[in-house]
């Protein structure tokens, strides 16, 4: 009996069991887990974007050499002097300003537009100038009417004087009034021509072919001629058909430069492109502070990659190679040639991408080989690293040692 009385005080094991169907209360630990996961994903994504262009996404580096033109009329054997300069135009920049004051009514062109000589660029408000022209025309008509009257009066005075009905003094007065009326005609014609010229000045036209570089004022502003330098300029254009490059040469190196010397221009933005050029101007005065002399070269051919004020590298080349009247020939390093027979080709670097160009080879000169067709000279050909190159692949050119 005593044992049965103590049994209810024992712990009830069934009451301690966990019901698997019962839902446990949610805490905030899952929010921190999601937030931490997002942070880790963002860090990994940012690191991938930063590492990709510097690792597996980095352009493959390839060694390049340049197709050379040798023989009579060839560019040259190699650079003897190099300097950093800028692209300029033969006419420099043409700033077009107003000849008469007025409010800017409209621009007919925008920056980057190509214009022909005589094309309308800017229009000024011309209402005042049209009114001046009409006023000058009215004054001319008035002077013409007055001249007609004076001519008739002079004829009558001559007839009366011939009959001795008036004194000579009266005839002289009539002749003088006729001369004054004639002078007023000339004056009115000059005023009308001046008013017509002023009206023409309200329309600004292109003095030469070129590209619009910059608009210097906005529609609605008042343009006034003269004043400070460039105060009346409205638009600036440049003639891209005559592109040049200028560079400052140190005085100690000036002996290596001569007029009509062959050069090559390499833009910093496109190191795989070479543009043949020739020295056309050596400035007559040195810069005392810098100890330099400015030299200007003219590019033989231009394309859409060149723009004014671009920084370039200018290589001054040695004397042309002459070989007993032989015609110029194009050569490339033998290591750049791939394939055989009708399937011979080279890899070029164009706009930081690899391009496969078929060629036909000619005479073998040991380390170089003649290219009969397919190249014009000056192209950047890949001489090392082309085993894994494919068409359109991004590459980074490195000059071969």
* Residue pLDDT, tens place only, 319-336: 655 555 556 788 888 888
As a whole number, mean pLDDT of residues 191-214 equals 91
Query: Residue 318: pLDDT above 80?
Result: no
Angle formed at CA 377 by CA 359 and CA 386, multiple of 5 degrees: 55
Per-residue pLDDT at 208: 85
Per-residue pLDDT at 2: 44
Question: What is the homologous superfamily of the domain 76-90+242-317 according to CATH?
Answer: Efflux pump adaptor protein, beta barrel domain (2.40.30.170)
**Confidence band for 137, pLDDT divided at 50, 70 and 90:** very high
**Confidence band for 1, pLDDT divided at 50, 70 and 90:** very low
Q: What is the CATH number of domain 60-67+324-399?
A: 2.40.420.20
Range with lowest mean pLDDT among 104-113, 196-205, 246-255: 246-255
Per-residue pLDDT at 375: 86
Per-residue pLDDT at 350: 82
| Mean pLDDT, all residues of the chain | 81
* Residue pLDDT, tens place only, 341-371: 888 998 888 877 888 899 988 887 777 888 8
Query: Residue 226: pLDDT above 80?
Result: no
Please state which architecture CATH assigns to domain 126-200: Orthogonal Bundle (1.10)
**Confidence band for 51, pLDDT divided at 50, 70 and 90:** low
Angle formed at CA 316 by CA 377 and CA 353, multiple of 5 degrees: 40
* Residue pLDDT, tens place only, 282-301: 998 888 888 899 999 999 88
* Residue pLDDT, tens place only, 57-112: 566 777 888 888 776 544 445 677 888 999 988 777 788 889 899 999 999 999 98
Task: Name the packing angle between helices 168-200 and 127-162 (round to 10°).
Answer: 160
As a whole number, mean pLDDT of residues 11-31 equals 55
Q: CATH class for domain 93-124+202-240?
A: mainly beta
C-alpha 280: how far from chain center: 21
Angle formed at CA 294 by CA 292 and CA 299, multiple of 5 degrees: 145
- Domain ranges for the chain, please list them: 60-67+324-399, 76-90+242-317, 93-124+202-240, 126-200
Per-residue pLDDT at 105: 93
Most confident of 43-47, 235-239, 397-401: 235-239
239 versus 177: the higher-pLDDT residue is 177
């Amino acid at each position: 009996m005593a044992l049965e009385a103590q049994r209810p005080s024992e712990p009830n094991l069934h009451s301690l069991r966990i019901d698997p169907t019962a839902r446990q209360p949610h805490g905030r630990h899952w929010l921190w887990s999601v937030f931490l996961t997002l942070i880790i994903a963002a860090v990994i994504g940012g690191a991938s974007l930063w590492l990709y262009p510097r690792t597996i996404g980095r352009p493959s580096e390839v060694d390049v050499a340049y197709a050379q033109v040798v023989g009579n009329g060839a560019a040259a054997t190699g650079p003897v002097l190099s300097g950093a300069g800028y692209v300029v135009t033969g006419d420099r920049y043409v700033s077009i300003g107003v000849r008469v004051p007025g409010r800017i009514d409209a621009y007919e062109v925008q920056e980057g537009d190509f214009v022909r000589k005589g094309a309308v660029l800017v229009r000024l408000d011309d209402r005042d100038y049209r009114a001046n022209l009409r006023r000058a025309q009215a004054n001319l008509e008035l002077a013409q009417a007055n001249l007609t009257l004076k001519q008739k009066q002079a004829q009558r005075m001559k007839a009366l004087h011939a009959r001795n009905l008036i004194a000579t003094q009266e005839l002289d007065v009539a002749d003088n009034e006729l001369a004054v009326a004639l002078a007023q005609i000339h004056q009115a014609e000059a005023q009308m021509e001046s008013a017509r010229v002023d009206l023409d000045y309200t329309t600004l036209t292109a003095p030469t072919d070129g590209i619009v570089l910059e608009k210097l004022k906005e529609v609605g502003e008042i343009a006034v001629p003269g004043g400070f330098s460039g105060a009346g300029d409205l638009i600036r254009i440049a003639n891209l058909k005559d592109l040049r490059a200028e560079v400052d040469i140190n005085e100690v190196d000036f002996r290596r430069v001569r007029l009509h010397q062959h050069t090559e221009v390499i833009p910093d933005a496109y190191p795989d492109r070479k543009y043949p050029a020739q020295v056309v101007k050596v400035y007559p005065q040195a810069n005392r502070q810098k100890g330099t002399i400015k030299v200007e070269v003219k590019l033989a051919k231009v394309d859409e990659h060149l723009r004014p004020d671009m920084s370039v590298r200018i290589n001054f080349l040695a004397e042309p190679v002459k070989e007993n009247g032989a015609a110029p020939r194009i050569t490339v390093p033998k290591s750049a040639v791939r394939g055989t027979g009708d399937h011979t080709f080279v890899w070029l670097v164009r706009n930081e991408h690899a391009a496969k160009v078929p060629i036909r080879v000619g005479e073998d000169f040991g380390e170089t080989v003649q290219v009969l067709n397919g190249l014009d000279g000056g192209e950047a050909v890949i001489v090392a690293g082309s085993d894994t190159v494919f068409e359109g692949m991004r590459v980074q050119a490195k000059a071969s040692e």
